[in-house]
Amino acid sequence: MLEQYLNLFVKSIFIENMVFAYFLGMCSYLAISKTLKNGVGMGFAVIFVLTITVPLNYLIFEYLLSDGALAWIGPEYAELDLSFLSLIMFIAVIASMVQLVEMIVEKFSPALYGSLGIFLPLIAVNCAILGGSLFMQIKDFSGVSEAAVYGFGSGVGWFLAIVGIAAIREKIAYSNIPAPLRGLGITFIITGLMAIGFMSFMGIKL
Amino acid sequence: MDNKNTKKPSFLFIGRSDEPILSKKNRKLLTDPLDDNNPITVQVLGICSALAITVQLKPAVVMTMSVIFVMACSNVIISVLRNLIPNRIRIIVFLVVISSLVALVDQFLKAYAYDVSKELSIFIGLIVTNCIVMGRLEAFALGNGVWKSFLDGIGNAIGYGIILIIVAFFRELFGAGTLWGIQVIPDFIYEEYGYVNNGFMLLSPMALITVGLIIWIQRSRNRTLIEEN
């Protein structure tokens, strides 16, 4: 049992890395990776929100939206299939959760709010978050704990990616790059090279 | 006849009723995002989907059409409602409008183009969080008239689509030797000259590197876009 979770965890960090394998959350990844400090802040915020929203959306999908999910209310609801609503539900849950998390963090941990605060609103439109929920819907997890592990693992994978690129970008500021390639261009190419590195994890199985 | 009466009292042109439909300014709205202000290579919006679905030409074209539809409609809707939306909840209003439009596209593709919709999997859904839609709503539609917003939406969506199609063209051509699923590199080149498809082009890292190269070419042509560092 534990082995299965560990396998899923490692897989979601390295093999199915959100950034390098699916290009999710690229916009914030490119925009916020100029300094390492901001990269770390954004990375933690993504881990936080993914760990909460993926299991929550799993429960909503499993008990409200999927085919025949409403059977627990009564037999007359057993044939309803509301899965076409999943997109709107997921985004509503994510947007409201982000708002809620922001308020809770602000109230109970002002220090954490100070470092995460500005990144939290950005997360509502980070495709890595919605992507996590949509992949969860496709992957057909067997329980809520599996969905939570998947959410956490994807978050950690995203964190690794943004910390890596932020560190490289800080160093690369001192290098002599052809002028038209400076900034965005070289960042894309480095991300491509990092993705090649991450591909070497393919096929690892615990 | 009094000159004022000849103006069209049209709903679309509130405040600027004397401006022609395709004035120079409006045309600029349409053509600017194609190159100088391209959403992907200059504004850095909507990268995620641009990279993931460019293995083949066909899904890239379908994605482009979906984004054109969603952007044009959402820009028009938000622009009509722009004076009614309270500033504090505008993000949620945007999300509701965009996600209803995307759900429409999703269901349409499932009904009429099931293969493509399977191939695009979650990336149609991810148009909701595609920053290009959100970004243009926030930056343009919220402060401009309906017709202008419509042009801005179409222009940006096409600018996005152009990059998508260029990347997909090269990846499919070099990676699989096909275009739109049809073989274009003739058999004898494989047999007599020992040409081999570069399967690496089909993998995800090459999408990033291709976009990087496109940015390089565009910026060396247009020096004003070069970043300080």
pLDDT score, position B8: 45
Residue A48 pLDDT grade (very low, low, confident, very high; cuts 50, 70, 90): confident
Q: Which of B121, B208, B223 sits opposite A195 (nearest CB)?
A: B208
- The residue of chain B nearest to residue A32, with distances taken between CA atoms, is B44
Which of these, A195, A157, A160, lies nearest to A54 by C-alpha position?
A157
pLDDT score, position A126: 76
Looking up tokens 């622009």, which residue turns up?
A: B79
pLDDT in tens, A125-150: 677 888 888 888 888 788 888 899 99
Please state the three-class secondary structure of chain A as a single string: CHHHHHHHHHHHHHHCCCCCCCCCCHHHHHHCCCCHHHHHHHHHHHHHHHHHHHHHHHHHHHHHHCCCHHHHCCHHHCCCCCHHHHHHHHHHHHHHHHHHHHHHHHHHCHHHHHHHCCCHHHHCCCHHHHHHHHHHHHHCCCCHHHHHHHHHHHHHHHHHHHHHHHHHHHHHCCCCCCHHHCCHHHHHHHHHHHHHHHHCCCCCCC
- The residue of chain B nearest to residue A23, with distances taken between CA atoms, is B48
pLDDT score, position B197: 81
Given the cut 0.90, state whether the ipTM is greater than it. no
Question: One digit per residue, pLDDT tens: chain B, 229 residues?
Answer: 444 444 444 444 444 555 666 677 777 777 777 777 777 777 777 777 777 788 888 888 888 898 899 989 999 998 888 888 887 777 778 888 888 898 888 888 888 888 888 877 677 877 877 778 887 888 888 888 888 888 888 888 888 888 888 888 888 888 888 788 788 778 887 788 878 888 788 888 888 888 888 888 888 887 777 766 5
Q: Is B12 part of the contact surface with chain A (CB cutoff 8 Å)?
A: no
A93, A191, A194: which to substitute to probe chain B, counting the most B Cβ within 10 Å?
A191
Q: Is A80 part of the contact surface with chain B (CB cutoff 8 Å)?
A: no
Mean pLDDT on A192-202: 85
Interfacial B residues in 156-215 facing A (CB < 8 Å): 203-209, 211-213, 215
In eight-state DSSP terms, residue A68 is T
- The residue of chain B nearest to residue A169, with distances taken between CA atoms, is B229
Q: Which residues of A touch B225 (CB under 8 A)?
A: 180
In eight-state DSSP terms, residue B97 is H
pLDDT in tens, A57-106: 888 888 887 777 777 777 777 777 777 788 788 888 888 888 787 787 77
Task: Look up the pTM and report it.
Answer: 0.79
pLDDT score, position B10: 45
A204: which 2 tokens? 């690892």
Q: Which residues of A touch B219 (CB under 8 A)?
A: 179-181, 185
Q: Which residues of A touch B100 (CB under 8 A)?
A: 88
Say yes or no for a CB contact (<8 Å) between A188 and B211. Answer: yes
Alpha helices in B82-225 (DSSP H): 90-112, 114-120, 122-125, 131-139, 146-176, 187-193, 204-221
pLDDT score, position B21: 66
Say yes or no for a CB contact (<8 Å) between B47 and A20. Answer: no
pLDDT score, position A163: 92
* Mean pLDDT of chain A, nearest integer: 82
pLDDT score, position A119: 66
Closest chain A C-alpha to B14 CA, distance in angstroms: 32
Interfacial B residues in 102-121 facing A (CB < 8 Å): 102-103, 106-107, 121
Q: How many CB pairs under 8 A join A and B?
A: 142
Please tell me the distance from the alpha carbon of residue A19 to that of residue A39, in angstroms, as a whole number: 14
Q: Which of A23, A95, A179 sits opposite B95 (nearest CB)?
A: A95
Interfacial B residues in 30-89 facing A (CB < 8 Å): 41, 44-49, 51-52
SS3 B183: strand
Closest chain B C-alpha to A21 CA, distance in angstroms: 6
Asked if the model's pLDDT at residue A54 lies above 60, the reply is: yes
